[in-house]
């Protein structure tokens, strides 16, 4: 089973205080870009892989989705999601993305926000998602960007001439990365962007959009401390379609 | 018109001494990976965008291509290409990729090696290539990887704990980059990988493979000094198909 860091007490407490946990979708600066990749959800059957507190599931129901299934490995998060969700169109289930099983052709849209980098092998996951989508169905997801994940020391450093630079190394060496974000030894899996995309293609998806996300000019103007985030991408946003 | 650094005397002399200029395709370590992305060329109509000394054009003719058109902005390089090419299936023409015109539906395969990073705006170029391919035709190309191109100072540096790191900055800020490779002030254009891929998609291509190239284990074993090239990708290899 995948590491379930979200049920670590310290991590959960820290995660619960993040802007994206408190303010929901609008607290995530990449949300407008990710939302723009989604098809209309009215009448759609939607699955959210790594749904956390259920913010997206509730939003999808508000957009008129016919059914929304939220999956997460964290009992803590799902308990809060269930509590916060009045809509009868939404249901939640414990699931491990490393060993996911879904009914065939049962969904029109698969969505995932910042969960796939916890998955050791995306091959079976992408195949499962592909088969769970109806022909023409959409997969829209974000992950941490491999440039962000790869380094031995993923922290800004200062160059000899005084610039902030991202000390990239290990990019082509895929595999486990341990970081100390909110807790010690959080385990994630680095893959190159090429591997992620070519695996999607080999799984039967047609890529429809690839975006290396950083804050845009308006966001930097509103929060000047984010300017440094334009030096390297933090997130990767991908949209793909199951071939008809 | 695009900068034609290849007709700069000093650059041309330096470029002519590179292993890939002397030994041809087999002198380019990424060639086996790029070759693997090509469809069978027997009977195909092929265009090589940035053909240089014509190594690929001659190889394509040896594979049985029906016609091979080599395009390059450099008169110096085309003069050598013409001189070195006996095959009547191959012809060469001066062309500027910034202002390329090609006949519609005239090719089955478009190929380019390390030329597109000299192009300021790839939108018209990708559209021209798309329209010049027959439906189902293939585009296979390499460029310098944006991680390689982006930095203000694209040279290895040493981290505080003694590792070689690539000092990435400016990744999300697209545009001109000037470097001093073989000559002063060589002008190239940095684009994110996301921009390149989404532009291909918007131009009507279906992506079939995306590879961030570095030397593999066998290549590093044969040339241990290449081990550092696994810390960040040097080249980007892409295969795409014109929708039918």
| Span B35-84, pLDDT tens digits | 999 999 999 999 999 999 999 999 999 999 999 999 999 999 999 999 99
Q: Do A165 and B167 touch (CB under 8 A)?
A: yes
- A172 and B209: CB-CB below 8 Å? no
Residues A206-234, mean pLDDT to the nearest whole number: 96
Whether residue B96 has pLDDT greater than 80: yes
Query: Is 3.40.50.150 the CATH classification of the domain at A40-147+196-230?
Result: yes
From A41, A212, A213, A66, select the one nearest A137 (Cα to Cα).
Answer: A41
Q: Alpha helices of chain B — where are they, by DSSP H?
A: 9-17, 19-22, 31-35, 55-62, 75-84, 122-132, 146-149, 193-202, 217-222
CB contact under 8 A, A209 and B198: yes
CB distance from B220 to chain A under 8 Å?
Answer: no
Reported as a pLDDT band with limits 50, 70 and 90, residue A28 is very high
Whether pLDDT at A228 is above 80: yes
Nearest CA in chain B to A229: B172
Q: What is the pTM of this model?
A: 0.95
pLDDT at B109: 98
Chain B hits for A172, CB-CB cut-off 8 Å, are: 212, 214, 230-233
Domain boundaries, chain B: 5-15+39-144+193-216
- pLDDT band (50, 70, 90) for residue B2: low
Q: CA A110, CA A47: separation in Å to the nearest integer? A: 5
Non-local (6+) Cβ contacts of B114 within 8 A are B50, B142, B143, B144, B235
The pLDDT of A218-228, averaged and rounded, is 95
Architecture of domain B5-15+39-144+193-216: 3-Layer(aba) Sandwich (3.40)
Indicate if the pLDDT at residue A150 is higher than 70.
yes
pLDDT reported for residue A50: 97
pLDDT of residue A21: 83
Give the confidence band of B20 by pLDDT, cuts at 50, 70, 90: confident
Nearest Cα of chain A lies from the Cα of B175 at a distance, in angstroms, of 14
Q: How far is Cα B122 from Cα B191, in angstroms, rounded to an integer? A: 9
Q: What is the ipTM of this complex?
A: 0.93
Q: Is the predicted pLDDT of residue A16 greater than 90, yes or no?
A: no
Categorize the per-residue pLDDT at B237 as very low, low, confident or very high, splitting at 50, 70 and 90: very high
Show Cβ contacts of residue B162 under 8 Å, excluding neighbours closer than 6 positions.
none
Asked whether residue A128 carries a pLDDT value surpassing 60, the answer given is: yes
φ, ψ (nearest 5 deg) of residue B7: -100, 10
Is residue A2's pLDDT more than 70?
no
């Amino acid at each position: 089973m995948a590491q379930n860091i979200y049920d670590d007490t310290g991590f959960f407490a820290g995660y619960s205080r993040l802007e994206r946990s408190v303010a929901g979708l609008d607290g995530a600066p990449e949300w407008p870009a990710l939302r723009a990749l989604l098809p209309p959800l009215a009448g759609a059957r939607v699955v959210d892989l790594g749904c956390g507190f259920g913010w997206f599931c509730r939003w999808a129901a508000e957009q008129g989705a016919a059914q929304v299934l939220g999956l997460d490995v964290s009992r803590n998060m799902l308990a809060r999601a269930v509590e916060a969700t009045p809509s009868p169109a939404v249901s939640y289930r414990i699931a491990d993305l490393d060993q996911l099983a879904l009914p065939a052709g049962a969904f029109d849209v698969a969505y995932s926000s910042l969960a796939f980098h916890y998955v050791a092998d995306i091959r079976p996951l992408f195949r499962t998602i592909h088969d769970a989508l109806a022909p023409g169905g959409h997969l829209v997801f974000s992950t941490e960007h491999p440039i962000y994940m790869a380094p031995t020391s993923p922290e800004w450093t200062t160059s000899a001439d005084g610039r902030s630079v991202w000390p990239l190394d290990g990019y082509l060496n895929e595999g486990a990365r341990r970081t100390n974000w909110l807790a010690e030894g959080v385990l994630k899996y680095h893959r190159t962007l090429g591997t992620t995309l070519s695996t999607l293609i080999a799984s039967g998806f047609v890529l429809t959009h690839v975006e290396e996300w950083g804050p845009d000019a308006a966001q930097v103007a509103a929060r000047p401390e984010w300017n440094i985030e334009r030096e390297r991408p933090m997130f990767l946003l991908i949209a793909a379609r199951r071939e008809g």
